[in-house]
Amino acid sequence: MNNQHGKPTPIGGPIMTPVMKICLGLAAVSGLMLIFRFLVGLGPVTNLTDGHPWGLWIAFDVVTGTALACGGYAIALLIYVFNKGKYHPLIRSAILTSALGYTLGAIGVIIDLGRPWLTWKLPIFFWTWNLDSVQLEVALCIMLYTAVLWIEMAPVFLERWETEDSKPKLQAFARKWTPILMKAMPWLIALGIVLPTMHQSSLGSMILLAGPKLHPLWLTGWLPFFFLISCIAMGYGMVVLETMWSRTVYSRYRETSILNALSPAMVVVLLVWVGARLLNILAAGKIGYAFQLDRFAILFWLEILLFLAPAIILMMKPTRSDRDRGRLFIASGMMVTGGMLLRFTSYWFAYSPGEHWNLYFPSLFEIFVTVGLVAAEVAAFLYIIKKFPILTGRPSAALPT
Amino acid sequence: MKISRRGALKVAAFGAATAAGARKAEAREKKEAPADATGMLYDATMCIGCKACVSACRRANSLEMEAHSRLYDDPIDLSANTANIIKFYEGEDGTSFIKQQCMHCIDPACASACMMGSFQKRQNGIVTWKPERCIGCRYCQVACPFNIPKFEWNSPTPAMVKCQMCLAKAGTTTEGQLNEVGQPACTEVCPREAVIYGPYEELKAEALRRIAENPDRYEDHVYGLEEVGGTQVLYLTAKGIPFSRLGLPELGTEPVPALPVGLQHTIYKGFIAPVAVYGVVAGLVWRSRRQHDKAGEEVGA
């Protein structure tokens, strides 16, 4: 085996590490809790009300979770739309993170739905589709994109099965499907770029239907644009964080310089975002709201800060490589947090059904289920990168954790 | 390694292209009430707060009673058990009762939200809910500016409950006659005709006539005539007690779906943009992969 930088290899090593055990434990407990949820309904276990019908599971698991899983989208944009082939070594882990993140989002939806047993009708009963419903587009897009992501991941599994001489059926299956998949791949990749562009922006349009219940600083026709641009920043940020994590934990020395090379582009993206956000509020004559001493003004400026600060940090002249990485780490963390804040604010903090409704805060049950879902995602990620060729870079014999 | 200016331009162009929709969002056509539209007119100055309508609503819709104190039935707000309620207001400006139920909007946000058309304007423009197409996503609740649709939070098989003007029992699909006598239970039992049922146009005229005849008795405002594009339930209130004090929100004249649906139909007009973008992206992917192949790079996910 040659260990070129560009060629992904499995991490190997023991599966049942302490981290894995904790993750599986959390996931199992949350799975048991979910049985209870489906027996008693949503009321007894959540803090959701008729005033706040959407809570943590929608705001985080679905709206934020899928945006955090936009690494695959961000990198695919770079490689294929902006023709930067050098980012290819990052694509597999990015797509895997996306596939897992979207799967988590989809599970989150099912948990939150009141009548999930009818969900199967949604993709099939096309004659009932209400084309006015922004959520319909989001739901169908997310279903389709989750499938596309796993098909995009398929070569990883097929590659391994092809070499398994002990399982001839699996091997034959892999040999038969690999060439077909390779032919279809460009069309799938294009779908994998168009679908997130559609639903990540539509997630912004979707909450606009709250109309007067949404604070004016977020009730703007540009919200889909802010959602779309920020999901690209979040995807990039997540790829950076994930790359740094695999470098630290698994000694996978992947090129941070190619990530650094993205900085100018990210500066443009972030500044466009901040500029558009401010101009839009000014043009709509809503800037007054940003200077009222209330939580909405604070949330608004915090959001601006979390998009502006990383732009400034990334514009600063790089000095030594170590400090460089710190700079990239902080900027990425801020971008991701900023995008999360935008989503939490528009789906939760800035949504107000009226004064007589209490503010919503998730119940421990809701929080624990979400933690369990994330733990399951982490466990699946760890298992797959250990068993399958996902991560590029120089592997190391030493395996901490 | 620098990102070329062309690259930065592409980023900007990409953003501008997606934003173009937002900028051009056309005004959505204003919807009118259907020709056979019926509605209700509630006159707060005539209501004596007897709550006969609340009981009648329960009977007609088979909804359980709600006891919050020692009274046998004293709902404090609309809920999955209460599709119609009478509330009492007391302030420096006087006292008033107020009836609340679904407003049966001319351009209902719940129907615009609903993915498979469970919520729709049906016969007489009455907004009803069909269980067989509802997956319980509660987007209707997020959308409704009056917070009307209620969810059965304590049921593993929840329904959405709201007033369907007795065209169908709340929370069921049994669509039929308007309550045997051809009008909703609440208007049927009202001893003072504080709430009446009838053709929408006639109710509109009646409301305006009452204000014109008794300008000292009424606020010069028929709630529901303009609010969110018009509602098929109309309200009159006593002079000096504005609707906002009675719990009816101050809303603009634009229907709630106008912004998101206008935006959506502009961006996705004829589904041309997504298909075009898909074509362009597929071309770019093909080009990029051919270059990689030439460079001997491994392709795949």
Instruction: Among A85, A136, A209, select the one facing B115 at the smallest CB separation.
Output: A136
Task: Verify whether the Cβ–Cβ distance A269 to B145 is below 8 Å.
Answer: no
What is the rounded average pLDDT of the residues A301-312? Answer: 96
Task: Determine the residue of chain A that is closest to B10 in CA distance.
Answer: A82
Amino acid at A303: E
Question: How far are the Cα atoms of A77, A285, B2 from residue A190, in angstroms, in the given order?
Answer: 9, 39, 26
Geometric angle at alpha carbon B110, from B106 and B112, rounded to 5°: 80
Give the HSE-up count for residue A351: Cα atoms under 13 Å, Cβ half-sphere.
28
A358 in B contact zone (CB under 8 Å): no
pLDDT of residue A3 exceeding 80, the answer is no
Name the nearest CA neighbour of A325 among A394, A392, A255, A271.
A255
pLDDT for res A152: 94
Interface subset of B 192-211, CB within 8 angstroms of A: none
pLDDT for res B10: 54
Six-digit token string for A100: 């897992």
A5 in B contact zone (CB under 8 Å): no
Instruction: Among A53, A112, A152, select the one facing B142 at the smallest CB separation.
Output: A53
For residue B246, the SS3 value is helix
Q: Which residues lie below 8 Å from residue A67, measured CB to CB, with a gap of 6+?
A: A200, A203, A227, A230, A231, A234, A235, A339, A340, A343
pLDDT of residue A93 exceeding 80, the answer is yes
B9 in A contact zone (CB under 8 Å): no
Looking at B101-226, which runs of residues are DSSP E strands? 119-121, 127-129, 150-151, 160-161, 195-199
Name the nearest CA neighbour of A373 among A68, A144, A119.
A68
- CATH code for residues A18-387: 1.20.1630.10
Task: Determine the residue of chain A that is closest to B26 in CA distance.
Answer: A221
Name the nearest CA neighbour of A233 among A267, A205, A209.
A267
Fill in the DSSP letter of residue A6.
Answer: T
Q: Calculate the CA B125 to chain-centre distance.
A: 13
| Maximum CA extent, chain B | 87
Q: Which residues pair with B197 in a beta bridge?
A: B40
What is the rounded average pLDDT of the residues A193-204? Answer: 96
A17 in B contact zone (CB under 8 Å): no
pLDDT band with cut points at 50, 70 and 90 for residue A392:
confident
Fill in the DSSP letter of residue A348.
Answer: I
Q: How many CB pairs under 8 A join A and B?
A: 259
Geometric angle at alpha carbon A289, from A288 and A295, rounded to 5°: 145
Q: How many residues does chain A have?
A: 401
Task: Verify whether the Cβ–Cβ distance A229 to B15 is below 8 Å.
Answer: yes
Kindly report the backbone phi and psi dihedral angles of residue B161, in degrees, each rounded to the nearest multiple of 5, phi listed first: -115, 130
The pTM score is 0.92
Q: To probe the interface with B, which of A36, A97, A133 has the most B CB atoms within 10 Å?
A: A133
Fill in the DSSP letter of residue A288.
Answer: G
The answer to whether A314 touches A191, Cβ cutoff 8 Å, is: no
What residue spans of A223-292 are helical by DSSP H?
223-250, 256-260, 263-283
The helix/strand count (H/E) of chain A reads as 14, 0
pLDDT band with cut points at 50, 70 and 90 for residue A356:
confident
Name the nearest CA neighbour of A280 among A225, A207, A351.
A225
Distance CA B29, CA B39 (A): 22
Give the HSE-up count for residue B38: Cα atoms under 13 Å, Cβ half-sphere.
16
The answer to whether A70 touches A76, Cβ cutoff 8 Å, is: no
A372 versus A90: which is more confidently predicted? A372
Instruction: Among B117, B249, B295, select the one facing A130 at the smallest CB separation.
Output: B117
pLDDT for res B174: 58
Q: What tens digit of pLDDT does each residue of A116-160 get?
A: 999 999 999 999 999 999 999 999 999 999 999 999 999 988 988
Distance CA B267, CA B26 (A): 10
Burial class (CB in 10 A: 0-12, 13-18, 19+), B176: exposed
pLDDT band with cut points at 50, 70 and 90 for residue A321:
low
Q: Which of A76-85, A178-187, B19-28, B241-250 has the highest mean pLDDT?
A: B241-250
Task: Verify whether the Cβ–Cβ distance B281 to A194 is below 8 Å.
Answer: yes
Burial class (CB in 10 A: 0-12, 13-18, 19+), B62: exposed
Question: How far are the Cα atoms of A392, A398, A399, B11, B16 from residue A389, in angstroms, in the given order?
Answer: 8, 18, 16, 31, 38
Fill in the DSSP letter of residue B79.
Answer: B
Interface subset of A 212-251, CB within 8 angstroms of B: 212-213, 219, 221-222, 224-225, 228-229
Q: What tens digit of pLDDT does each residue of A44-70 get?
A: 999 999 999 999 999 999 999 999 999
Geometric angle at alpha carbon A122, from A117 and A128, rounded to 5°: 120
Contacts of B87 in chain A (CB under 8 A): none
Distance CA A74, CA B127 (A): 42
Low-confidence ranges of chain B (pLDDT < 50): 1-3, 21-24, 297-301
pLDDT for res B246: 95
The answer to whether A237 touches A332, Cβ cutoff 8 Å, is: yes
Task: Verify whether the Cβ–Cβ distance A186 to B278 is below 8 Å.
Answer: no
Interface subset of A 89-128, CB within 8 angstroms of B: 91-92, 95, 109, 112-116, 118-119, 121-122, 125, 128
A256 versus A72: which is more confidently predicted? A72
B256 in A contact zone (CB under 8 Å): yes
Distance CA B193, CA B196 (A): 6
Tally of CB atoms within 10 A around A147: 16
Six-digit token string for B42: 């509630």
Task: Verify whether the Cβ–Cβ distance B285 to A39 is below 8 Å.
Answer: no
Q: Calculate the CA A107 to chain-centre distance.
A: 14
Q: To probe the interface with B, which of A73, A115, A159, A260 has the most B CB atoms within 10 Å?
A: A115
Percent of residues, chain A, with pLDDT higher than 90: 75
β-pairing verdict for B150-151 and B127-129: unpaired
A368 in B contact zone (CB under 8 Å): no
* Structural domains in chain B plus CATH codes: 5-28+260-294 (no CATH), 38-257 (3.30.70.20)
Distance CA B206, CA A86 (A): 73
Question: How far are the Cα atoms of A40, A58, A401 from residue A35, in angstroms, in the given order?
Answer: 9, 19, 32
A155 in B contact zone (CB under 8 Å): yes
Task: Verify whether the Cβ–Cβ distance A41 to B252 is below 8 Å.
Answer: no
Domain boundaries, chain A: 18-387
Task: Verify whether the Cβ–Cβ distance B298 to A92 is below 8 Å.
Answer: no
Task: Verify whether the Cβ–Cβ distance B19 to A225 is below 8 Å.
Answer: yes
Task: Verify whether the Cβ–Cβ distance A190 to B117 is below 8 Å.
Answer: no
Instruction: Among B131, B145, B298, select the one facing A7 at the smallest CB separation.
Output: B298
A139 in B contact zone (CB under 8 Å): yes
Q: What is the mean pLDDT of chain A?
A: 91
Q: To probe the interface with B, which of A50, A214, A269 has the most B CB atoms within 10 Å?
A: A50
β-pairing verdict for B233-236 and B38-43: parallel
